[in-house]
């Protein structure tokens, strides 16, 4: 068997160490509201420390310095503030039209001088019309380093590591080339000695700038695609408490989201999942709560995890949600109880700061004897595992969406978790008022 993975490291960002800055600039470590996913406009003012979906030793070290309020931290919701990128063909078309409309400075009587003045101005205008939008994009797309760690993880999972920065670098590279070639040709044109020469240099310059832009304009469209993708991502709202369902694939998480939701759950699409992730709402005492799926976790090392699993880890690492951990001991889900036990132990140890509830699902299928896979010993020599195979972790509730067993108790316990989360939120606002 492989050695335990880095999963055994504690999360570098346990929710108990999350930092929030209030409107009056005060930080309240250890107290936080729960977050949730939704497509609503993001309006919160909470801020969170640095990190990304993949906890590492280096990041564990960083946590200490993060706890100091002086550290550079960023708020959440950057994807909704991305600048609107124009398609490159439109930028070029509009720049050419505007440049050609530029007239020479009034009052130049000499024909050659007038022509070279017009030429230099038109080349300068084309250069600016192309370079200014590119500069705006480069300046207004956020530096990934300063993004909320959850959003940073989403960029990495969605676009691939380094792609976001590469595209921005390419756009900036194109801008610099346009500026340099534009200036060179404008100055060349301004030095013409005849009208004809000025006309030739103008046409030559326009052609050259257009050529360069046309050759590389795909980088602008790449940036446009990035903006579209990121803007379409589910938005996190840190003001509404959330319950996140976690567990191996097919253990019954989505079925339980349906059971817990007051209405019909929405489907939330991350670009790297083929199947949407369910999100439901619960209305309790006139308050709205959120319950959401996470993609299933398998027993493997972090480096072997797919993006769906990494999304689950990103949620647990960076968002202060409560956890409903689902265990399927019926042998139906495809992950053996002993593998589920390993995954559970890793995750439980790693994310100690979350409010937590364990349920054993599909209780209608549970037999009197525990499920033992063909590849496993009936008795594991690990009493803890043997006990897990029969009844799940200590304190877990048996539930079945088929027979309704345990659902009432589960809902009751979930309400308790929400109340605890609400108490934390209130605590924060009380502290703010002091």
Residues that bind ligand GDP (CB under 6 A): 249-255, 293, 296, 361-362, 364-365, 400-402
Q: How many chain residues touch Mg ion (CB under 5 A)?
A: 2
The residue (of 292 and 421) whose beta carbon lies closer to ligand GDP is 292
Question: With CB under 5 A as the contact rule, which of the stretches 16-24, 131-139, 231-239, 253-261 interacts with Mg ion?
Answer: 253-261
The residue (of 22 and 250) whose beta carbon lies closer to ligand GDP is 250
Query: Least distance to Mg ion from the beta carbon of 123, Å?
Result: 58
The residue (of 199 and 405) whose beta carbon lies closer to ligand GDP is 405
Q: Which does 175 bind (CB under 5 to 8 A by kind): Mg ion, ligand GDP, none?
A: none
Query: Least distance to Mg ion from the beta carbon of 413, Å?
Result: 21
State both tokens at 212.
């360069």
The residue (of 123 and 297) whose beta carbon lies closer to Mg ion is 297
The residue (of 114 and 253) whose beta carbon lies closer to ligand GDP is 253
Distance CA 22, CA 431 (A): 10
The residue (of 141 and 325) whose beta carbon lies closer to Mg ion is 325
The residue (of 94 and 273) whose beta carbon lies closer to ligand GDP is 273
The residue (of 31 and 410) whose beta carbon lies closer to Mg ion is 410
Q: What angle do CA 59, 60, 64 make, to 5 degrees?
A: 105
Query: Least distance to ligand GDP from the beta carbon of 403, Å?
Result: 7
- Judged by CB under 5 A, the chain residues 170 through 209 that form the site for Mg ion are none
Beta-carbon-side half-sphere exposure of residue 387 (alpha carbons within 13 Å): 7
Q: Which does 414 bind (CB under 5 to 8 A by kind): ligand GDP, Mg ion, none?
A: none
Q: Which does 32 bind (CB under 5 to 8 A by kind): Mg ion, ligand GDP, none?
A: none
Q: Which does 365 bind (CB under 5 to 8 A by kind): ligand GDP, Mg ion, none?
A: ligand GDP
Distance CA 434, CA 432 (A): 6
Q: Which does 402 bind (CB under 5 to 8 A by kind): Mg ion, ligand GDP, none?
A: ligand GDP
Query: Least distance to ligand GDP from the beta carbon of 250, Å?
Result: 4
Q: Which does 321 bind (CB under 5 to 8 A by kind): ligand GDP, Mg ion, none?
A: none
Binding to Mg ion by residue 15, rule CB under 5 A? no
Pairing status of strand 322-327 against strand 356-360: parallel
Q: Which does 401 bind (CB under 5 to 8 A by kind): Mg ion, ligand GDP, none?
A: ligand GDP
- Judged by CB under 5 A, the chain residues 393 through 422 that form the site for Mg ion are none
Query: Least distance to ligand GDP from the beta carbon of 255, Å?
Result: 3
Query: Least distance to ligand GDP from the beta carbon of 291, Å?
Result: 12
User: Between the CA of residue 47 and those of 18, 78, 102, what are the distances in Å?
Assistant: 9, 12, 47
User: Between the CA of residue 218 and those of 30, 88, 157, 282, 317, what are the distances in Å?
Assistant: 46, 7, 22, 45, 35
Binding to Mg ion by residue 254, rule CB under 5 A? yes
Query: Least distance to Mg ion from the beta carbon of 405, Å?
Result: 20
The residue (of 158 and 292) whose beta carbon lies closer to ligand GDP is 292
Q: Which residues contact 230 (CB under 8 A, 6 or more apart)?
A: 79, 82, 154, 155, 158
The residue (of 52 and 342) whose beta carbon lies closer to ligand GDP is 342
Distance CA 143, CA 151 (A): 12
User: Between the CA of residue 248 and those of 141, 337, 390, what are the distances in Å?
Assistant: 36, 10, 17
What DSSP letter does each residue of 367-402 carry, written as one string?
-SSPP--TTS-SS-S-HHHHHHHHH-STT-EE--TT
Query: Least distance to ligand GDP from the beta carbon of 14, Å?
Result: 25
Query: Least distance to ligand GDP from the beta carbon of 307, Å?
Result: 16
Distance CA 277, CA 298 (A): 17
List of residues contacting Mg ion (CB under 5 A): 253-254
């Amino acid at each position: 068997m492989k050695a335990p993975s880095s999963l055994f490291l504690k999360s570098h960002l346990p929710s108990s160490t999350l930092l929030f800055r209030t409107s009056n600039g005060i930080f309240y470590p250890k107290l936080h509201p729960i977050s949730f996913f939704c497509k609503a406009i993001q309006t919160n003012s909470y801020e969170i420390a640095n990190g990304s979906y993949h906890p590492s030793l280096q990041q564990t070290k960083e946590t200490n310095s993060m706890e100091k309020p002086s550290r550079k931290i960023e708020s959440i919701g950057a994807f909704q503030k991305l600048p609107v990128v124009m398609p490159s063909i439109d930028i070029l078309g509009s720049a050419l039209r505007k440049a050609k409309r530029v007239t020479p400075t009034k009052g130049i009587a000499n024909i050659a001088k007038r022509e070279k003045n017009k030429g230099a101005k038109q080349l300068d205008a084309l250069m600016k019309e192309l370079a200014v939008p590119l500069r705006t994009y480069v300046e207004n797309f956020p530096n990934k380093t300063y993004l909320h760690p959850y959003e940073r993880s989403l960029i990495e999972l969605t676009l691939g590591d380094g792609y976001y920065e590469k595209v921005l670098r390419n756009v900036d590279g194109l801008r610099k080339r346009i500026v340099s070639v534009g200036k060179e040709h404008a100055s060349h044109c301004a030095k013409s000695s005849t009208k004809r020469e000025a006309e030739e240099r103008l046409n030559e310059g326009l052609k050259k700038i257009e050529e360069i832009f046309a050759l590389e304009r795909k980088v602008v469209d790449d940036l446009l695609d990035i903006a579209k993708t990121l803007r379409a991502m589910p938005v996190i709202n840190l003001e509404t408490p959330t319950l996140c369902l976690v567990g191996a694939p097919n253990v019954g998480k989505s079925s339980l989201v349906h059971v817990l939701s007051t209405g019909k759950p929405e489907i939330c699409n991350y670009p790297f999942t083929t199947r949407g992730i369910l999100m439901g709402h619960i209305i309790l005492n006139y308050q709205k709560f959120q319950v959401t799926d996470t993609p299933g976790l398998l027993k493997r090392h972090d480096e072997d995890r797919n993006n769906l699993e990494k999304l689950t880890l990103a949620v647990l690492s960076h968002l202060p949600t409560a956890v409903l951990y689902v265990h399927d001991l019926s042998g139906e889900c495809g992950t053996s109880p002993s593998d589920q036990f390993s995954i559970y132990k890793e995750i439980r140890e790693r994310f100690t700061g979350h409010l937590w509830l364990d349920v054993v699902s599909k209780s209608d299928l549970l037999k009197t004897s525990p499920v033992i896979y063909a590849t496993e010993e009936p008795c594991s020599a690990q009493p803890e595992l043997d006990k897990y195979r029969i009844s799940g972790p200590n304190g877990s509730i048996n539930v079945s969406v088929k027979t309704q067993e345990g659902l009432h108790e589960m809902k009751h316990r979930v309400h308790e978790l929400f109340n605890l989360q609400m108490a934390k939120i209130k605590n924060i606002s009380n502290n703010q008022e002091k």
